[in-house]
Amino acid sequence: MQLPPTLIRSLEGLPGFDEKAFIDVHNANAPVTSVRLNPLKTTHVQLLTEGRQISAAKVPWSVYGYYLDQRPSFTFDPLFHAGTYYVQEASSLFLEEALRQTVDLKEDLKILDLCAAPGGKSTHLQSLIAANSLLVSNEVIRSRASVLRDNIVKWGASNVAVTNNDPKDFARLPGFFDVVVVDAPCSGSGLFRRDSEAIEEWSENNVMLCSQRQQRILADVLPALKQGGVLVYSTCSYSRQEDEAVLQWLAGTFDLEPVTLQLNPAWNIIETQSGPHTGYRFWPHLLKGEGLFMTVLRKNAAAGTTGKYRPKTKALSAKAAAPLGQWLQAEGSRFVNFGDKIYAWPEPLFEWLDFLAQQLKIIYSGTLAGEMIRDKLIPDHALAMSPLITKDAARLTLSEEDAIRYLQRKELADTVPVSRGWQLAAFRGFPIGWMNVLANRINNYYPKELRILKEQRLNQ
């Protein structure tokens, strides 16, 4: 692996940098695989290891994160499609430790993940916050926002709104958020080990452009953070201009208080100073993870307020919502319809979601229960992924082979259902989607755009 010599030169003198060890670890061809469990579905890592000749070890800075000693084919694992875990780079799981040390996560919070696709940090944040907290998971690029929505749907949570807005749109929400996470678009050098093609695209000029864009994004979003609120800024770049220099600029431009985290020395995370502010560097030659920079700051400055709110969205009447009781645990939810589509919004988040719907371009919120057609609900895939699904829902347990066929949207020739109508396709107890059993065939309702396109199981 030929790392850009200008990158190497630019890293000299940075805390923790060791040229030889850094180059060696890039050439060692020893990829690190890590996953994070979804506590809405399971907290037992044995689910992924038992009977699979894989062993798992804890990622030290995350309750839900595990290293796997090999990389299985996630595409061909029905448990992956059931949303029981997310495949995520280990260093980035440090977000959990950063928040546990700076925010009372038991409180009802409003959290913004500004640069959220494909959803690693957002699904993680969702696992850390209370059920009555609201996560706004935003992605500016429309196609990437759809991938983000799919991953949020798969995760199964109801307390998330997926938005497709430009950072400057958040100026409409002065002082609204308790926490803002900016996992900024960057030059990506921290991931060279996993994606050697990115090396070709790396240039000093791009580092500079990224640094300017990072500053613009931060300046745009800061008004939306409340006074006393916490800003987390991270990149997967090693470059000073995108890390310490951005922190220095933040500190010099805005009224932000330094926040220092307690580190376990065994973790080998390296502290780096920008004046009184501390950043945290993750070097792949010092720990089991990829390159990452993260810093936390607290807003001192007074923030504006969002002004008067006029309710607009109407919840379905009890009578109109009654048929939904057969599909999901309705207690604690209020139902809203956008056209024929019926969403379940967590009751305590109703006003916030209604307010946000008036300010932002929301592409998904709560849980999409399904479409009401002639007074009957056609259940949506999102409902199958959600813990709201009623325990009484009929389900058909599929073998691994059939579960993969189902996920490929193929026919389930050998599966023998015991009853007719809508039922969940399940694998090892976890729903993976819907099917409708008719007299002479089974209709596979796995969403076309999510289906596994590959024929063969290949390790990826």
Ligand X SMILES: C[S@@+](CC[C@H](N)C(=O)[O-])C[C@H]1O[C@@H](n2cnc3c(N)ncnc32)[C@H](O)[C@@H]1O
Is residue 236 annotated as a catalytic residue, yes or no?
Answer: yes
Judged by CB, which is closer to ligand X: 174, or 185? 185
- Sole binder of ligand X in the list 77, 96, 97, 139 (CB under 6 A): 139
- Sole binder of ligand X in the list 140, 368, 369, 432 (CB under 6 A): 140
Indicate which residue of 3, 103, 236, 357 is catalytic: 236
Q: How far is the CB of 171 from ligand X (least distance, A)?
A: 14
- Residues 184-203 touching ligand X, rule: CB under 6 A, are 185
- Residues 88-127 touching ligand X, rule: CB under 6 A, are 115-121
Question: Is 321 within any annotated ligand binding site?
Answer: no
How many residues touch ligand X (CB under 6 A)?
16
Judged by CB, which is closer to ligand X: 148, or 383? 148
Question: Is 78 within any annotated ligand binding site?
Answer: no
Contact map string, positions 149 to 168, toward ligand X, x by CB under 6 A: ------------------x-
- Sole binder of ligand X in the list 57, 141, 302, 438 (CB under 6 A): 141
Choose the stretch contacting ligand X; rule: CB under 6 A; options: 35-43, 140-148, 291-299, 359-367. Answer: 140-148
Quick check: 144 binds ligand X (CB under 6 A)? Answer: yes
- Residues 208-237 touching ligand X, rule: CB under 6 A, are 213, 217
The three-state (H, E, C) secondary structure of the chain, written as one string? CCCCHHHHHHHCCCCCCCHHHHHHHHHCCCCCEEEEECCCCCCCCHHHHCCCCCCEEECCCCCCEEEECCCCCHHHCHHHHCCCEEECCCHHHHHHHHHHHHCCCCCCCEEEECCCCCCHHHHHHHHHCCCCCEEEEECCCHHHHHHHHHHHHHHCCCCEEEECCCHHHHHHCCCCEEEEEEECCCCCHHHCCCCCHHHHHCCHHHHHHHHHHHHHHHHHHHHHEEEEEEEEEEECCCCHHHCHHHHHHHHHHCCEEECCCCCCHHHCCEEEEECCEEEEEECCCCCCCCCEEEEEEEECCCCCCCCCCCCCCCECCHHHHHHHHHCECCCCEEEEEECCEEEEEEHHHHHHHHHHHHHCCEEEECEEEEEEECCEEEECHHHHHCCCECCCCCEEECCHHHHHHHHCCCCCCCCCCCCCEEEEEEECCEEEEEEEECCCCEEECCCHHHCCCCCCCCCC
Quick check: 380 binds ligand X (CB under 6 A)? Answer: no
Q: How far is the CB of 116 from ligand X (least distance, A)?
A: 5
Quick check: 183 binds ligand X (CB under 6 A)? Answer: yes
Q: How far is the CB of 141 from ligand X (least distance, A)?
A: 4
Binding interface with ligand X (CB under 6 A)? 115-121, 139-141, 144, 167, 183, 185, 213, 217
Residue numbers in the known binding site for S-adenosyl-L-methionine are: 115-121, 139, 166, 183
Catalytic positions, written as ranges: 236
